[in-house]
Structure 1
């Protein structure tokens, strides 16, 4: 079963307002087995709206429209729907009473005729009562397609979707079951990961699809299955999940809906009653910021030294000057010394250290831009990992932070 979402408003197309409505509608439809075929955004223009409605009616079962239902002259959705359905507007007395009551309760100004116009609805429509605002929703059946018109105000739209639209869809349509299972991986890029699981992916059942959702330092793998038989689908998704875990279980740290990596790390430190310190150079204290932004961080995080300048590495962290002269401030040896020394200084079980060249210039080192070393100190060992992370400064910093958390996760997990 397919749906299309049509959002109406110039403000969406010029970037003045971000379309959060479509994301919400898509999630709610997915929960009940309705797949979104397409999301279309159009201007407050009658011909564009008519064209979008006509195109959508040819390819989906349900068309959900948001926006353009206000009292001002640029809100033309109702009049355009009248033309599309060859219909007229009629006054709905229940809606009118609701609008008048809202004005009496929340406004010290008299109700205007333009506000009363909100009670005009298509004669062919089933009115969806909007207790959150003045513009009602409308449910219109036309041949084999249902059209649902809702206001664009997010909290009004959400109310109508959850309380009116979704229950009606459940009642009137037979829908397949859709199940998603998402695994969050770390430390392996999308292409390398695809090569690693290629044979398994090629042999997935036809009713199960795999999607790759990459981000800095991690890739989400989403299994999506569709079937009329829910129990059979759940069994198949679980079987394929177990096969995937057998292939890459060592780089899976969670499922979709679970916490981000930094939260998982925080929980492990709390559970294991271990402590942590950081010594940061080019990351500028961002790792410490991420850690301390989480409730309860004081239970395990002792502090940080932001040794951005080379002299702070020597005078505060105690990194030997000879070490820096011999190996450079951006080196494995310096990263190890930073981690080991901040661990000792703050008396912690674990420590993270970062030193690198994020650009745009080389600074105190001749290392190429994008060269990064991440030092990790544990209760039993100290080591550093070298990364070459490209040339865009913000990207280098963020990828390094993700890598540092990944390394820390592996070490605290095995502690």
Structure 2
């Protein structure tokens, strides 16, 4: 069964908000073996909505639209959809009572425009919105299912989880998909592709391998399609094992998780603790670690030592080291890592010091110069990087390299 997602709203196209709804919807639909073929973002205009619905109907079995169901004049989805289905509106008293109760709960007078939110398509099944004023709607039309949901993420997710998914479970999809993942670090996309080219060339037509690169890492997604799930899983396992054997130690996970999650799980399993001492990355390493649930089991804390004074007072960096070698130096990075490890009482610590840009560089130490040090149980390792990019890219690259150095030292000391 094929699906298409249509997101409606000028704010998405203008970049004022990020469309997280589509990614979440895609995951939910895949779990139901409903395969998203296309995601389209359009403006709040009648012509664009009509064109998108017509096109989606020609190529998908399930069409999910989010956004444009609000009460204001710029929300034209409901009126346009009525025109598309050549239908009218009917008043739903249950929705009306719910909308009134929301305003009463906050002791607010309900504006006249909100009365229209109780008007729903005559040919639709109402999807009651427990968490908002705009109800969703389910329409079955010419053998296709159209689902209209509010664009507010928490309202959309609640409606999808409790109203839509139970209904979609009744639909049967003959074609099945199984996925396998391989997360690699420390090897570029092109080198990885060359390494496994002959294996990939031998894949049957029902198998597709996708490369999903990020700074410092590449995730491989293996997709196998067919009708017999048991056979698909056997084939997927066999091909995944071939790839893992060829790639070797660059493989860090076969789960659909991030590198940060791999680090956290590994440190927790081995009862290791981590601290960070960051200058040029400004706390970004600590941020990407603590964004993962469970980080508190292995992350003790971090010190953003942007100034030399903080390097000295909080990390114990020697003033003589700073005077002799400067803040951006191997010697300073080493003392930062050692200081964080000792003062926070951890097994490992990672430190960064450099020039992220756009200013602050010199001929000797141009913008993009970064020293990274990792203190482990037995030794301290350092590396100099010369990045080329804007400030944010330099910070992201330094963060990725710091985590990779941390992982390599951890694996080395573990004996892997």
TMscore range, shorter length: 0.7 to 0.9
1:171 counterpart SS class: coil
Cross-structure match for 2:159: 160
Q: How many residues get paired? A: 409
Deviation of 1:410 after TM superposition, in Å, equals 2.2
Cross-structure match for 1:239: 238
1:315-360 Cα distance to aligned partner (Å, 9 max, x none): 95359769967xx876667756765687688886545444544444
2:203 counterpart SS class: coil
Cross-structure match for 1:77: 77
Summarize the Cα distance change of 1:364–1:340 in structure 2 as closer, same or farther, 3 Å threshold.
farther
Instruction: Indicate the larger mover: 29-38 or 353-362.
Output: 353-362
Q: Separation in 2 of the partners of 1:97 and 1:218?
A: 51
2:170 counterpart SS class: helix
Deviation of 1:45 after TM superposition, in Å, equals 1.8
Cross-structure match for 2:66: 66
2:179 counterpart SS class: strand
Summarize the Cα distance change of 1:133–1:99 in structure 2 as closer, same or farther, 3 Å threshold.
farther
Q: Separation in 2 of the partners of 1:293 and 1:162?
A: 24
Q: Separation in 1 of the partners of 2:131 and 2:26?
A: 21
Summarize the Cα distance change of 1:307–1:243 in structure 2 as closer, same or farther, 3 Å threshold.
same
Deviation of 1:370 after TM superposition, in Å, equals 2.9
Cross-structure match for 1:412: 410
CA RMSD of aligned residues (A): 3.8
1:317 counterpart SS class: coil
> Where does the alignment leave 5 or more consecutive residues of structure 2 unmatched?
none
Cross-structure match for 1:12: 12
1:379-398 Cα distance to aligned partner (Å, 9 max, x none): 44444334332243332232
Instruction: Indicate the larger mover: 155-164 or 228-237.
Output: 155-164
2:59 counterpart SS class: coil
1:281-302 Cα distance to aligned partner (Å, 9 max, x none): 5445654666678867697758
Q: Separation in 1 of the partners of 2:31 and 2:372?
A: 42
Question: Which of 373, 389, 403 is the matching residue for 1:375?
Answer: 373
Q: Separation in 2 of the partners of 1:279 and 1:67?
A: 43
Normalization by structure 1: what TM-score? 0.81
Summarize the Cα distance change of 1:180–1:156 in structure 2 as closer, same or farther, 3 Å threshold.
same
Deviation of 1:373 after TM superposition, in Å, equals 3.7
1:135-194 Cα distance to aligned partner (Å, 9 max, x none): 333332332322222233333322332233233333244342222222222111222222
Deviation of 1:401 after TM superposition, in Å, equals 2.4
Question: Which of 356, 364, 367 is the matching residue for 1:366?
Answer: 364
The answer to whether the 8 Å contact 2:139/2:147 transfers is: yes
2:192 counterpart SS class: helix
Deviation of 1:117 after TM superposition, in Å, equals 3.5
Cross-structure match for 1:124: 123
> Which is greater in Rg?
1
Q: Separation in 1 of the partners of 2:266 and 2:324?
A: 34
- Equivalent residues in 2 for 1:250-289 (5 A)? 250-258=249-257, 260-274=258-272, 282-283=280-281, 286-287=284-285
Matching of residue 392 in structure 1 with residue 390 in structure 2 = yes
Cross-structure match for 1:174: 173
Q: Separation in 1 of the partners of 2:283 and 2:351?
A: 10
Instruction: Indicate the larger mover: 71-80 or 104-113.
Output: 104-113
Cross-structure match for 2:144: 145
2:169 counterpart SS class: helix
The answer to whether the 8 Å contact 2:33/2:176 transfers is: yes
Summarize the Cα distance change of 1:305–1:345 in structure 2 as closer, same or farther, 3 Å threshold.
farther
